[in-house]
Structure 1
């Protein structure tokens, strides 16, 4: 599938000054958020952040997404690097189905059980745009900010060297404790 790209623009934010570039793949639009010194870095810090409207924008306590995004923005602002804002809501089941999954979680299902009950795999994300972004930005070696072993495997499968893994650990709360435990037990997240 063809991927369209935007020009690079400035984005001053409460976290610091960034450069941004958008990528459109089908109906999904993704964002590369780069520190101002990004082009000077040989092995930049990188976070592949999966979109979470309820967490990132509304501050949902059911997940750790907003905390991880804030952590990454602050870190990249201070140390240089890139955040790929991967717009595949709810592990790519979409917002409507994510809210349906939330309703099932309200009835006692965990995040995996809810997705399966709705007829989806536990994770429907497609990372092909991430590969395109790495190539477009000339990235061959990174320091990956993640807790997710599948993201490590994926990046390594692209032939990208991971010189370091930086944990993205945030505080849990009573609303996201089951969610985080499921990520740890089912997906093997380093929490």
Structure 2
């Protein structure tokens, strides 16, 4: 059953070119998710798609503790260069689904030596609580069944495939490590199986 409905759209000029922004509302909880579309994506075959989890600290405030904001902008740039694609921005995914307040609690534990996985476990929280039904629903709205997924996350690929989305290709989104996020990236690579080489 599909729970998302398309509720509004508009033109969105950005530093990476002109996108169309589409808002979808989840009938179960009122949460609004966003699709940024570049070019003609309706019924597109294997477009580039970034399924991006909300990250206030990285996306909005430019935090260097993670690579989220850099990945988001890199995806916009690649999609613009390719001429076609989508960014699906998922709300309620903050901190891999544990929420903003818990993410800050996890940050505090990381400042005392824990990695991102250990911190979530110490708080009694899932390592990753995200689900991707909303992303699959948005892709179905655009009549897209097969994509080139912009992601380092193998579990994201598997989750989308389970929801009926064909992943024609997984395209890694590699960023430049910083002193603040090197341990975080290594943890994602070693403990979460992300495709991040040469760390």
Higher helix share: 1
Deviation at 1:27, TM superposition (A): 4.5
Poorly superposed stretches of 4+, deviation over 4 Å: none
In structure 2, the residue corresponding to 1:187 is in which secondary structure? Answer: coil
After TM superposition, list the pairs within 5 Å mapping 1:69-108 onto structure 2.
Answer: 69-79=72-82, 80-87=84-91, 88-108=93-113
Separation in 2, partners of 1:178, 1:76? 29
- The answer for the alignment partner of 2:186 in structure 1 is 181
In structure 1, the residue corresponding to 2:191 is in which secondary structure? Answer: helix
How many equivalent residue pairs?
191
- The answer for the alignment partner of 1:54 in structure 2 is 57
Gaps of at least 5 residues in structure 2 are none
Which range moved further: 169-178 or 125-134?
Answer: 125-134
2:26 is the counterpart of 1:22? no
After TM superposition, list the pairs within 5 Å mapping 1:4-23 onto structure 2.
Answer: 4-23=5-24
- The answer for the alignment partner of 1:169 in structure 2 is 174
In structure 1, the residue corresponding to 2:147 is in which secondary structure? Answer: strand
In structure 2, the residue corresponding to 1:7 is in which secondary structure? Answer: strand
What's the Cα RMSD here? 1.4
Using structure 2 for the length normalisation, give the TM-score.
Answer: 0.91
Gaps of at least 5 residues in structure 1 are none
Q: 2:132·2:160 contact (CA, 8 Å) conserved in 1?
A: no
Using structure 1 for the length normalisation, give the TM-score.
Answer: 0.94
Separation in 2, partners of 1:107, 1:151? 29
- The answer for the alignment partner of 2:71 in structure 1 is 68
CA displacement 1:39-98 (0-9 Å, x = unmatched) = 363221101011111011111111111110010011111211001011211111111111
Separation in 1, partners of 2:77, 2:142? 21
Deviation at 1:5, TM superposition (A): 2.4
- The answer for the alignment partner of 1:126 in structure 2 is 131
Which of 141, 148, 159 is residue 143 of structure 1 equivalent to?
148
Which of 121, 137, 153 is residue 116 of structure 1 equivalent to?
121
